[in-house]
Amino acid sequence: MQANSNFQNLAETYLFAEVGARVRKYQTEHPDTPVIRMDIGDVTLPLAPAVAEAMNKAVGDMRNAATFHGYGPEQGYAFLREAIARHDYKARGIDISEDEIFVSDGAKCDIANMTDLFAEDTIVGVPNPVYPVYVDSNIMAGRTEANGKIVYIKCDSTNAYKPLVPEGKKIDVIYLCSPNNPTGSVLSKADLKAWVDYARANGSLILFDSAYEAFVSDPKLPRSIYEVEGAKEVAIEVRSYSKTAGFTGLRCGYTVVPAALKARYADGSEVELRKLWLRRQTTKFNGASYVTQRGAEAIYSPEGEEQVKANIAYYLRNARMLREAMDKMGLQAIGGDNSPYVWVKAPDGLGSWELFDLLLQKCHLSTTPGVGFGSGGEGCIRLTGFNSYENTLKAIERLAGLDL
Ligand code: MLT
């Protein structure tokens, strides 16, 4: 069998695997200096009690023949899709119906799997820096910067790390993430409108990664791209319960593919992307488990909503503290206000991995090197609020003692 040569165009290891390996090596060599993990954005708080109780009850259902559940509906159980449509959209004045919602095992998988829908010669546009899954999944499908199928969108400190609508070359699929991973920047409604206008004018698709929408605390900032008029005709929105409700280990999220979103085949005929996604999912995916979906449903109960909000506030406080600490140290930083991530510029001349190593050696802190998110992230690191309050305080103390 001949292997998929596109893999030869990928970096040897996935970013977080590389970071993890370096931290493990350091920890083995220094067993008495516990490293505070501020790299991968993994939650630390346990499941909200309402979620855990709903899952316990669902396990009970599975123990009885009368309430047992085998294969579920491919798009997800109606009880969860209805809760999503009602709470995440209709309650905010957005008309999304349950038959436009696809429950899945997480945003990362959905975003990566979406490439199945693109024609071979599709040109994708990604900001730089960017969540590596957008780029790597396209490289696996044969797109590279060298063959012109991956185009980088300008996104740097001159524009507060907000991707700028390009002039000139047409991009078929645009990846946007707000609140942004890794930079913590957040797009305003006007920013999103500019992209929706571009997509409508060029017949492009926007893949909107909204995995961190729960961290938006400024009511003026949008949490869904569908807050922009006309977005349903050009955008897919992907959401996750990982960071919203601590589901990183459970796996559940959802993708909205509006009925109004159409594309064309090579022969010119029109097709609803929703139909293609359903066809793709029914072929390659068997759904998130019944127990997990009952847990996700509980997030929308009054108690669940309160408990999950408290957890988000906890992580946001950590992120804010980190951001303030960076400001105090005189380092250029953004994020940490409507986002769990803080993006920090290294002091003069230091590269991302150099600062990563320095912080690991001197402060026993692991961070994510910005260059791992693309060349545009060189010279920066990412800190995360997903840690305990106590560890965040400890990390800040260690950083304060550092002479950079
Ligand atoms: C991150 O740290 O960027 C995320 O936790 C990774 C992910 O969500 O897959």
The span from the CA of 10 to the CA of 273, in Å, is 28
Q: Find the 179 Cα to ligand 1 centroid distance in Å.
A: 13
Distance 41 CA to ligand 1 centre (A): 5
State pTM to two decimals: 0.96
Atom of ligand 1 at shortest distance to CA of 40?
A: 2
Question: Can you list the alpha helix ranges (DSSP code H) found in 329-381?
Answer: 352-363
- Per-residue pLDDT, 41: 86
First to last CA, the chain: 52
Q: Is 170 helix (H, G, I), strand (E, B) or coil?
A: coil
CA distances from 326 to 5, 152, 254, 384 (A): 43, 28, 34, 13
Residue 181 Cβ < 6 Å to ligand 1: yes
Among residues 312, 287, 288, the alpha carbon closest in space to that of 299 is found at 312
CA 40 / ligand 1 centre spacing (Å):
6
Q: What per-residue confidence (pLDDT) applies to 232?
A: 98
pLDDT in tens, the chain (404 residues): 999 999 999 988 889 999 999 999 999 999 999 999 999 989 999 999 999 999 999 999 999 999 999 999 999 999 999 999 999 999 999 999 999 999 999 999 999 999 999 999 999 999 999 999 999 999 999 999 999 999 999 999 999 999 999 987 799 999 999 999 999 999 999 999 999 999 999 999 999 999 999 999 999 999 999 999 999 999 999 999 999 999 999 999 999 999 999 999 999 999 999 999 999 999 999 999 999 999 999 999 999 999 999 999 999 999 999 999 999 999 999 999 999 999 999 998 899 999 999 999 999 999 999 999 999 999 999 999 999 999 999 999 999 888 77
For residue 182, the ligand 1 atom closest to its alpha carbon is 3
Say yes or no: CB of residue 108 within 6 Å of ligand 1.
Answer: yes
Angle between helices 352-363 and 389-400 (to 10 degrees): 100
Using CA atoms, how far residue 363 sits from 25, 39, 333, 367, 371, in Å, is: 16, 14, 19, 11, 21
Dihedral (CA of 168, 174, 180, 183) sign: negative
Helix (H) or strand (E) segment spanning residue 278: helix 273-284
Cα gap 367→381, rounded to integer Å: 7
Q: What is the distance in A from the centroid of ligand 1 to the CA of 105?
A: 14
> Which atom, in ligand 1's list, is nearest to the CA of 42?
5
DSSP 89: I
For atom 9 of ligand 1, the residue with the nearest CA is 108
E strands, 340-395, are 341-345, 365-366, 368-369, 380-384
User: Which ligand 1 atom sits nearest the alpha carbon of residue 131?
Assistant: 3
Give the model's pLDDT for residue 169.
Answer: 78
Q: What residues does 101 pair with on adjacent strands?
A: 256
Residue nearest to atom 4 of ligand 1 (CA): 41
| Position in ligand 1 atom list of the atom nearest CA 108 | 9
Cis peptide before 179, with omega less than 30 degrees from 0? yes
Q: How much is the pLDDT for 14? A: 87
Whether residue 41 has its Cβ less than 6 Å from ligand 1: yes
The confidence score (pLDDT) of residue 258 equals 98
Predicted local confidence at residue 173, as pLDDT: 98
The secondary structure of 117-163, three-state, reads HCCCCCCEEEECCCCHHHHHHHHHCCCCCCCCCEEEECCCHHHCCCC
Place of tokens 């492009």: 204
Q: Is the CB of 106 under 6 A from ligand 1?
A: no
